[in-house]
Amino acid sequence: QRPRSAAQPKNQRIPGVKHVIAVASGKGGVGKSTTACNLALGLKTLGLKVGLLDADIYGPSMPKLMGIHGKPRLLENRILEPMEAYGIKVMSIGFLVEEEAAMIWRGPMVMSAITQMLREVAWGDLDVLVVDMPPGTGDAQLTMAQATPLAGAVIVSTPQDLALIDARRGVSMFKRVEIPILGIVENMATFVCPHCGQSSHIFGHGGARDEASRLGVPFLGEIPLNMTIRELSDAGRPVVVAEPEGPHAGIYKSMAQQV
Ligand code: ADP
Protein backbone atom coordinates (compact mmCIF):
# COMPACT_ATOMS: atom_id res chain seq x y z
CA GLN A 1 0.00 0.00 0.00
CA ARG A 2 1.56 3.29 -1.10
CA PRO A 3 0.75 6.42 0.90
CA ARG A 4 -1.21 8.97 -1.11
CA SER A 5 -1.26 12.69 -0.61
CA ALA A 6 -2.48 15.85 -2.27
CA ALA A 7 1.12 16.72 -3.09
CA GLN A 8 1.70 13.45 -4.96
CA PRO A 9 4.20 14.49 -7.62
CA LYS A 10 4.29 13.41 -11.23
CA ASN A 11 6.93 10.94 -12.22
CA GLN A 12 8.58 13.17 -14.82
CA ARG A 13 12.16 13.52 -15.95
CA ILE A 14 14.05 16.66 -14.96
CA PRO A 15 14.95 18.43 -18.20
CA GLY A 16 18.70 18.25 -18.90
CA VAL A 17 19.37 15.66 -16.16
CA LYS A 18 20.34 12.27 -17.56
CA HIS A 19 20.40 10.11 -14.43
CA VAL A 20 19.20 10.54 -10.87
CA ILE A 21 20.78 8.39 -8.17
CA ALA A 22 19.39 8.27 -4.62
CA VAL A 23 21.66 7.70 -1.63
CA ALA A 24 19.50 6.34 1.17
CA SER A 25 19.70 4.75 4.59
CA GLY A 26 17.23 3.03 6.85
CA LYS A 27 18.11 5.37 9.72
CA GLY A 28 20.03 8.56 10.47
CA GLY A 29 23.63 8.92 11.52
CA VAL A 30 25.09 6.07 9.48
CA GLY A 31 27.05 8.34 7.12
CA LYS A 32 24.56 8.69 4.26
CA SER A 33 25.32 12.38 3.61
CA THR A 34 29.07 11.85 3.86
CA THR A 35 28.77 9.02 1.35
CA ALA A 36 26.47 11.03 -0.96
CA CYS A 37 28.82 14.01 -1.21
CA ASN A 38 31.98 11.93 -1.66
CA LEU A 39 30.23 9.69 -4.20
CA ALA A 40 29.15 12.81 -6.12
CA LEU A 41 32.74 14.09 -6.08
CA GLY A 42 33.96 10.64 -7.13
CA LEU A 43 31.59 10.76 -10.12
CA LYS A 44 32.99 14.20 -10.95
CA THR A 45 36.53 12.75 -11.08
CA LEU A 46 35.25 10.38 -13.80
CA GLY A 47 34.64 13.48 -15.93
CA LEU A 48 30.87 13.60 -15.41
CA LYS A 49 28.75 16.70 -14.87
CA VAL A 50 27.32 16.21 -11.41
CA GLY A 51 24.67 17.80 -9.22
CA LEU A 52 23.96 17.12 -5.57
CA LEU A 53 20.52 17.54 -4.06
CA ASP A 54 20.19 17.50 -0.30
CA ALA A 55 16.68 16.12 0.21
CA ASP A 56 17.30 15.51 3.92
CA ILE A 57 14.76 18.17 4.86
CA TYR A 58 14.89 17.56 8.61
CA GLY A 59 18.67 17.54 8.82
CA PRO A 60 20.26 19.18 5.78
CA SER A 61 24.02 18.78 5.91
CA MET A 62 25.30 19.68 2.44
CA PRO A 63 25.93 23.39 3.13
CA LYS A 64 28.37 22.38 5.86
CA LEU A 65 29.79 19.27 4.17
CA MET A 66 30.49 21.11 0.92
CA GLY A 67 31.61 24.29 2.71
CA ILE A 68 28.99 26.49 1.05
CA HIS A 69 27.75 29.76 2.54
CA GLY A 70 25.15 32.16 1.23
CA LYS A 71 21.84 31.74 -0.52
CA PRO A 72 20.91 30.68 -4.06
CA ARG A 73 19.83 33.44 -6.47
CA LEU A 74 16.25 33.51 -7.62
CA LEU A 75 16.15 33.56 -11.41
CA GLU A 76 13.22 34.35 -13.70
CA ASN A 77 10.06 32.24 -13.39
CA ARG A 78 10.80 31.52 -9.70
CA ILE A 79 13.63 29.16 -10.63
CA LEU A 80 16.55 28.90 -8.21
CA GLU A 81 20.15 28.93 -9.32
CA PRO A 82 21.97 26.09 -7.56
CA MET A 83 25.05 26.87 -5.47
CA GLU A 84 28.35 25.45 -6.61
CA ALA A 85 31.35 23.89 -4.84
CA TYR A 86 34.26 21.79 -6.10
CA GLY A 87 32.72 21.81 -9.58
CA ILE A 88 29.40 20.38 -8.42
CA LYS A 89 26.00 22.09 -8.43
CA VAL A 90 24.35 21.85 -5.03
CA MET A 91 20.86 22.55 -3.72
CA SER A 92 19.75 22.12 -0.12
CA ILE A 93 16.83 23.25 1.98
CA GLY A 94 19.58 24.40 4.36
CA PHE A 95 20.32 27.31 1.97
CA LEU A 96 16.72 28.45 2.06
CA VAL A 97 15.28 28.19 5.55
CA GLU A 98 16.54 28.04 9.12
CA GLU A 99 16.93 24.47 10.31
CA GLU A 100 14.39 24.95 13.11
CA ALA A 101 11.79 26.11 10.57
CA ALA A 102 11.91 22.95 8.45
CA MET A 103 11.97 20.75 11.57
CA ILE A 104 8.31 21.46 12.28
CA TRP A 105 7.04 21.00 8.73
CA ARG A 106 4.30 18.51 8.17
CA GLY A 107 4.34 15.89 5.43
CA PRO A 108 2.78 17.91 2.56
CA MET A 109 5.22 20.80 3.06
CA VAL A 110 8.15 18.42 3.10
CA MET A 111 6.94 16.83 -0.10
CA SER A 112 6.40 20.11 -1.89
CA ALA A 113 9.85 21.34 -0.78
CA ILE A 114 11.43 18.18 -2.20
CA THR A 115 9.62 18.42 -5.53
CA GLN A 116 10.50 22.13 -5.78
CA MET A 117 14.16 21.44 -5.15
CA LEU A 118 14.07 18.82 -7.88
CA ARG A 119 12.19 20.79 -10.49
CA GLU A 120 12.40 24.50 -9.77
CA VAL A 121 16.17 24.61 -9.85
CA ALA A 122 18.30 25.51 -12.88
CA TRP A 123 20.31 22.28 -12.83
CA GLY A 124 21.38 22.76 -16.46
CA ASP A 125 22.88 19.76 -18.25
CA LEU A 126 23.88 17.06 -15.78
CA ASP A 127 25.05 13.52 -16.35
CA VAL A 128 24.13 12.57 -12.80
CA LEU A 129 22.14 14.14 -10.01
CA VAL A 130 22.99 12.52 -6.67
CA VAL A 131 20.19 12.86 -4.14
CA ASP A 132 20.95 12.66 -0.43
CA MET A 133 17.65 11.17 0.73
CA PRO A 134 15.99 11.77 4.08
CA PRO A 135 16.79 8.83 6.40
CA GLY A 136 14.16 6.15 6.82
CA THR A 137 11.44 4.67 4.67
CA GLY A 138 8.42 6.92 5.18
CA ASP A 139 6.38 9.31 3.12
CA ALA A 140 9.15 11.73 2.18
CA GLN A 141 11.26 8.87 0.86
CA LEU A 142 8.43 7.49 -1.22
CA THR A 143 7.65 10.96 -2.59
CA MET A 144 11.22 11.34 -3.66
CA ALA A 145 11.34 7.85 -5.12
CA GLN A 146 8.22 8.62 -7.15
CA ALA A 147 8.90 12.26 -8.02
CA THR A 148 11.24 11.48 -10.89
CA PRO A 149 12.49 8.32 -12.58
CA LEU A 150 15.44 7.16 -10.48
CA ALA A 151 18.28 5.28 -12.18
CA GLY A 152 18.82 3.51 -8.89
CA ALA A 153 19.50 3.70 -5.18
CA VAL A 154 22.63 3.25 -3.09
CA ILE A 155 21.93 2.10 0.46
CA VAL A 156 24.35 3.08 3.23
CA SER A 157 24.49 1.07 6.45
CA THR A 158 26.74 0.56 9.42
CA PRO A 159 27.46 -3.09 10.22
CA GLN A 160 25.27 -3.52 13.34
CA ASP A 161 22.23 -5.74 13.11
CA LEU A 162 19.84 -2.90 13.95
CA ALA A 163 21.14 -0.69 11.17
CA LEU A 164 21.02 -3.64 8.79
CA ILE A 165 17.38 -4.36 9.60
CA ASP A 166 16.63 -0.75 8.65
CA ALA A 167 18.78 -1.02 5.52
CA ARG A 168 16.81 -4.12 4.49
CA ARG A 169 13.62 -2.09 4.87
CA GLY A 170 15.17 0.54 2.56
CA VAL A 171 16.02 -2.09 -0.04
CA SER A 172 12.50 -3.46 0.07
CA MET A 173 10.96 0.03 -0.26
CA PHE A 174 12.92 0.72 -3.45
CA LYS A 175 12.13 -2.73 -4.81
CA ARG A 176 8.44 -2.12 -4.16
CA VAL A 177 8.50 1.02 -6.32
CA GLU A 178 10.64 -0.82 -8.89
CA ILE A 179 13.79 1.24 -8.47
CA PRO A 180 16.98 -0.79 -9.00
CA ILE A 181 19.32 -1.14 -6.03
CA LEU A 182 22.77 -0.10 -7.26
CA GLY A 183 24.33 -1.55 -4.15
CA ILE A 184 24.98 -1.42 -0.42
CA VAL A 185 27.85 0.47 1.21
CA GLU A 186 29.20 -0.51 4.63
CA ASN A 187 30.25 2.61 6.54
CA MET A 188 32.20 2.87 9.79
CA ALA A 189 33.32 -0.76 9.59
CA THR A 190 36.98 -0.88 10.54
CA PHE A 191 38.75 1.46 12.94
CA VAL A 192 42.53 1.56 12.79
CA CYS A 193 43.96 2.96 16.02
CA PRO A 194 46.15 5.95 15.13
CA HIS A 195 48.38 5.20 18.13
CA CYS A 196 49.03 1.46 17.93
CA GLY A 197 47.86 0.70 14.38
CA GLN A 198 45.59 -2.14 15.53
CA SER A 199 42.24 -2.65 13.74
CA SER A 200 38.99 -2.87 15.71
CA HIS A 201 35.49 -3.43 14.44
CA ILE A 202 33.55 -1.08 16.67
CA PHE A 203 30.16 -1.70 15.06
CA GLY A 204 30.99 -5.18 13.80
CA HIS A 205 32.23 -5.99 10.34
CA GLY A 206 31.02 -7.60 7.13
CA GLY A 207 27.32 -7.44 8.00
CA ALA A 208 26.46 -5.24 5.04
CA ARG A 209 28.45 -7.43 2.64
CA ASP A 210 26.58 -10.51 3.88
CA GLU A 211 23.27 -8.66 3.72
CA ALA A 212 23.99 -7.57 0.13
CA SER A 213 24.67 -11.13 -0.93
CA ARG A 214 21.58 -12.36 0.91
CA LEU A 215 19.44 -9.77 -0.88
CA GLY A 216 21.16 -10.41 -4.20
CA VAL A 217 22.34 -6.80 -4.65
CA PRO A 218 25.88 -5.55 -5.33
CA PHE A 219 28.23 -4.72 -2.45
CA LEU A 220 29.90 -1.41 -3.30
CA GLY A 221 32.61 -1.30 -0.67
CA GLU A 222 33.42 -0.55 2.94
CA ILE A 223 34.53 2.77 4.37
CA PRO A 224 36.48 2.71 7.63
CA LEU A 225 35.53 4.71 10.71
CA ASN A 226 38.18 7.35 10.37
CA MET A 227 38.85 10.63 12.11
CA THR A 228 40.15 12.37 8.97
CA ILE A 229 36.87 11.68 7.15
CA ARG A 230 34.95 13.26 10.01
CA GLU A 231 37.30 16.23 10.44
CA LEU A 232 37.39 17.05 6.74
CA SER A 233 33.59 16.75 6.51
CA ASP A 234 33.17 19.16 9.40
CA ALA A 235 35.61 21.56 7.73
CA GLY A 236 33.62 21.55 4.47
CA ARG A 237 36.40 19.81 2.54
CA PRO A 238 35.21 16.29 1.67
CA VAL A 239 37.97 13.70 1.67
CA VAL A 240 37.73 13.09 -2.11
CA VAL A 241 38.80 16.71 -2.78
CA ALA A 242 41.01 17.21 0.29
CA GLU A 243 43.05 14.02 -0.15
CA PRO A 244 42.35 12.96 -3.74
CA GLU A 245 45.18 10.43 -3.84
CA GLY A 246 44.49 9.02 -0.37
CA PRO A 247 43.01 5.61 0.44
CA HIS A 248 39.56 6.92 1.38
CA ALA A 249 39.15 8.90 -1.82
CA GLY A 250 40.09 5.67 -3.63
CA ILE A 251 37.18 3.80 -2.02
CA TYR A 252 34.66 6.49 -3.01
CA LYS A 253 36.05 6.68 -6.55
CA SER A 254 35.78 2.92 -6.97
CA MET A 255 32.19 3.17 -5.72
CA ALA A 256 31.54 5.86 -8.33
CA GLN A 257 32.89 3.56 -11.05
CA GLN A 258 30.56 0.76 -9.98
CA VAL A 259 27.35 2.78 -9.97
P1 ADP B 1 23.70 10.60 7.98
O2 ADP B 1 23.61 11.39 6.70
O3 ADP B 1 23.47 9.14 7.77
O4 ADP B 1 22.90 11.15 9.11
P5 ADP B 1 26.35 11.75 8.21
O6 ADP B 1 26.97 11.54 6.87
O7 ADP B 1 25.83 13.12 8.52
O8 ADP B 1 25.22 10.67 8.45
O9 ADP B 1 27.40 11.28 9.29
C10 ADP B 1 27.15 11.39 10.68
C11 ADP B 1 28.46 11.75 11.39
O12 ADP B 1 29.40 10.72 11.23
C13 ADP B 1 29.12 13.01 10.81
O14 ADP B 1 29.74 13.71 11.86
C15 ADP B 1 30.18 12.44 9.86
O16 ADP B 1 31.28 13.33 9.71
C17 ADP B 1 30.57 11.19 10.58
N18 ADP B 1 31.02 10.13 9.67
C19 ADP B 1 30.35 9.60 8.61
N20 ADP B 1 31.06 8.62 8.03
C21 ADP B 1 32.23 8.52 8.74
C22 ADP B 1 33.39 7.68 8.65
N23 ADP B 1 33.49 6.75 7.73
N24 ADP B 1 34.38 7.89 9.56
C25 ADP B 1 34.25 8.84 10.52
N26 ADP B 1 33.21 9.64 10.66
C27 ADP B 1 32.19 9.48 9.79
For residue range 112-164, list pLDDT tens digits in order: 888 889 999 999 999 999 999 988 888 778 878 888 889 999 999 998 877 78
- The pLDDT of residue 203 is above 70: yes
Q: What length does the chain have? A: 259
Tell me what the pLDDT averaged over the chain comes to. Answer: 90
Q: Average pLDDT of 180-194?
A: 92
Structure confidence at residue 153 (pLDDT): 95
Residue of the nearest CA to atom 17 in ligand 1? 230
Structure confidence at residue 38 (pLDDT): 98
Cβ(135)–Cβ(151) below 8 Å: no
* Ligand 1 surroundings by CB, under 6 angstroms: 25, 28-34, 61, 135, 187-188, 223, 225-226, 229-230, 233
SS3 content of the chain, % helix, strand, coil (to 5): 40, 20, 40
Q: Candidates 52, 230, 231, 255: which one to mutate for ligand 1, based on the most atoms within 8 Å of Cβ?
A: 230
Which CATH number is 29-258 given? 3.40.50.300
- The pLDDT of residue 183 is above 60: yes
Cβ(238)–Cβ(37) below 8 Å: yes
Residues within the annotated binding site for ATP?
Answer: 26-33
Query: 152-157 and 17-24: which strand pairing?
Result: parallel
Say which range, 98-112, 160-174, 198-212, has the weakest mean pLDDT.
Answer: 98-112
- ipTM for this prediction: 0.99
Angle at 46 (CA atoms; ends 247, 22), nearest 5 degrees: 85
> Is pTM beyond 0.90 here?
yes
* 227 HSE (CA, 13 A, CB side): 4
- The pLDDT of residue 33 is above 90: yes
Residue of the nearest CA to atom 5 in ligand 1? 31
Question: What residue ranges do the domains of the chain occupy?
Answer: 29-258
Closest CA to 158 of 59, 34, 258: 34
Atom of ligand 1 nearest to the CA of 34: 6
**CB-based burial label for 206 (10 Å; 0-12, 13-18, 19+):** middle
Q: Which helix (H) or strand (E) holds 85?
A: strand 83-85
Percent of the chain having pLDDT more than 70? 96
Q: What is the phi-psi region of residue 175: left when phi exceeds 0, alpha when psi lies from -120 to 50, beta otherwise?
A: alpha
Query: 88-92 and 181-187: which strand pairing?
Result: unpaired
Atom of ligand 1 nearest to the CA of 233: 16
* Cα 230 to middle of ligand 1, angstroms: 6
- The pLDDT of residue 1 is above 50: no
Cβ(31)–Cβ(223) below 8 Å: yes
Alpha-carbon distance of 130 to 82, in angstroms, equals 14
**DSSP H helices in 70-138:** 99-103, 107-119
Cβ(52)–Cβ(17) below 8 Å: no
Distant-in-sequence, close-in-space partners of 14: CB < 8 Å, separation ≥ 6: 20, 118, 119, 123, 129, 148
* Cα 29 to middle of ligand 1, angstroms: 6
Say which range, 3-12, 169-178, 239-248, has the weakest mean pLDDT.
Answer: 3-12
* Cα 145 to middle of ligand 1, angstroms: 23
Residue of the nearest CA to atom 14 in ligand 1? 230
* Cα 7 to middle of ligand 1, angstroms: 31
Structure confidence at residue 4 (pLDDT): 46
Positive or negative, the Cα torsion across 53, 58, 64, 68?
positive
Atom of ligand 1 nearest to the CA of 234: 16
Residue of the nearest CA to atom 23 in ligand 1? 225
* Cα 127 to middle of ligand 1, angstroms: 26
